[in-house]
Chains A and B, each alone.
Chain A
Amino acid sequence: DAGITQSPRHKVTETGTPVTLRCHQTENHRYMYWYRQDPGHGLRLIHYSYGVKDTDKGEVSDGYSVSRSKTEDFLLTLESATSSQTSVYFCAISDRQPNTEAFFGQGTRLTVV
């Protein structure tokens, strides 16, 4: 398995609180992604990074921000969590663009109450 660790694995938080999810990789891959997975929607891209301090928005980026200060860490922050952000969040990494596969973490189940 690719060395990807997501933390925490489970979190319950209250509406309006800030939440940060962490993705840590030991593969030295350049590209990192955050997806959310919801029933009926598959996986949707939130943000991605193509290098240290280089990030861009995906299709569902509203309400989320990211940071990548080191190659190995990609943080996803919900500035003020809402119930619509209850989801399973997956981090993925890839290298040798294009025509390469992505490796996924085990996911973080976030519940906003």
Chain B
Amino acid sequence: SQQGEEDPQALSIQEGENATMNCSYKTSINNLQWYRQNSGRGLVHLILIRSNEREKHSGRLRVTLDTSKKSSSLLITASRAADTASYFCATALLKSGFQKLVFGTGTRLLVSP
């Protein structure tokens, strides 16, 4: 079964609005990462938050992590049409020092002009 589950599965907003996506996971993690995938392309890394961090910012992105609830959220502020993509959370599990990334099923974001 998937380690991470994103919510909602799909999100449709207007340009300028904020978009919030949530990720829940099941086991202890070393870090949590968010990726973006444009249609027909590979995934692109957005941001990494370590298990001892609670919040992280990168440009218009804000990520929070609540390890007690095993959940994370990705906020995209002032969305643009170019933000239209699928967004995936990936939990990093450590095995003998090796980081294994386990992906969720993703949130499809549509930003309309």
Contact = CB atoms under 8 A, between A and B. Distances in A.
A26 B31 CA distance: 26
A33 B100 CA distance: 9
B105 interface: yes
Interface stretch (A12-20, A35-43, A61-69, A74-82): A35-43
Interface string B26-44: 0000110101000011111
Contacts of B98: 31, 48, 50, 97-98
Nearest to B6: A42
Interface string A78-113: 000000000000101010011111111111000000
Contact of A98 (B42, B45, B97): B97
Contacts of A105: 42
A104 B88 CA distance: 13
Given A42-B103, A42-B105, A106 B41 contact: yes
B31 A43 contact: no
A43 B37 CA distance: 11
Interface residues of A, number: 28
A45 interface: yes
Interface residues of B, number: 28
B2 interface: yes
B14 interface: no
Contacts, number: 69
A94 B43 CA distance: 13
B45 A103 contact: yes
Contacts of B41: 106-107
A99 B31 CA distance: 7
B28 to A, nearest CB: 13
Interface of A: 4, 31, 33, 35, 40-45, 48, 50, 58-59, 90, 92, 94, 97-107
Given A43-B43, A98-B94, 20 more contacts: A4-B42, A41-B105, A42-B4, A45-B102, A48-B98, A90-B42, A92-B43, A97-B97, A98-B98, A98-B99, A99-B31, A99-B50, A99-B92, A101-B33, A101-B45, A104-B35, A104-B42, A104-B43, A106-B42, A107-B41
